[in-house]
Amino acid sequence: MDDLEKKTKTLANDLVFELNKSLGFRKDGLAQPFLKPLVWKPMVRFSEMATIFEQRVVQEGWQKASAWFITHFVDKVKTLGAEHLPKEGPLVIAANHPGAYDSLVISSHIPRDDVKIISSDIPFVKKLPDTSKHMIFSSQNVHDRMSAARSALRHLKNGGTLLVFARGTMDPDPAFMTGSEVELTRWTSSLGLFMRNVPQTKLSVSLISGVISPKFINHPATLFRRGRVNKQRLAEFFQVMYQLLVPGRIMVSPNLSFGSPVTLDDLRLEDKKNINKITDGIIIKAQEQFQFHQNNLLAA
């Protein structure tokens, strides 16, 4: 077995373990032996793609590697506003998070290779060293969150780009799910922290929709999971697995919009030191962008 094949199988095993955990199955439960044979083929395929992606990140940069990866799942992306994004200087992309491959769809339209994504702690991704360089891992642990915030601020101070999924959890897909606009009001105060501590930062609100297919959200198998987020994660899994098993059969066509970048001064706040007030100002921008996205992409 050569090194590439060995690495691919190791990654695939990690994916099966993470899937078992995300589905709520016990590590020593009865489901574990039955799960692996069912998902092994698409997991190996995904691991092969991740290994190639890793190589492309080094050879071509983050944006082009992201654009290559999504071609396996996405037919076309309808985009508005990317031309306004600055190509240098500290930049925050504050986005919603309907899931699937949204981070790479967004990354493929940011005209920069210095993107770092604030992400949950994903062991699979940590096995990809060049991909991990574009991640800032965090968790619910207070110390981890503080460490992630420091890393994010350091990256901004060095003139880099941050992609922040501002709700901190999976959002409804605005293309067909209710509640997506309400979730904007729950964006975290980390956005205010970044803008206050690095005031020269420019922030663009990015909204993405159409990454999840209604066919999978409404799949009967999602009924055994409680709660919208858990059902959506399961739908995301079924969708990606199907796309890997039957390439090209189902391709999604996401809608992606970027708001005009704003600075702290552009928010016109009386108190520019209060991170909650700054975040409130950003949420207003997000609500405005939601209406733009809906009127120009979803209603078109």
pLDDT tens across the length of the chain (300 residues): 467 678 888 888 888 877 777 666 665 655 566 778 888 899 999 999 999 999 999 999 999 999 999 999 999 999 999 999 999 999 999 999 999 999 999 999 999 999 999 998 888 899 999 999 999 999 888 889 999 999 999 999 999 999 999 999 999 999 999 999 999 999 999 999 999 999 999 999 999 999 999 999 887 767 767 788 888 988 898 899 999 999 999 999 999 999 999 999 999 999 999 999 999 999 999 999 999 999 999 986
For residue 139, what pLDDT is reported?
85
Which DSSP letter does residue 200 get?
A: T
pTM, two decimal places: 0.94
For residue 163, what are its two tokens?
A: 């992609």
CA pair distance 232, 102, nearest whole angstrom: 14
For residue 298, what are its two tokens?
A: 């979803």
Burial class of residue 122, CB neighbours in 10 A (0-12, 13-18, 19+) = middle
Residues contacting 158, CB < 8 A, separation 6+:
none
Q: Which fold has domain 75-212+252-300?
A: Glycerol-3-phosphate (1)-acyltransferase (3.40.1130)
CA pair distance 17, 35, nearest whole angstrom: 10
Q: Give the other-Cβ count within 10 Å of 276's Cβ.
A: 11
For residue 28, what pLDDT is reported?
60
List the chain domain ranges: 1-60, 75-212+252-300, 214-247
For residue 237, what pLDDT is reported?
87
Q: Give the other-Cβ count within 10 Å of 249's Cβ.
A: 8
For residue 1, what pLDDT is reported?
47
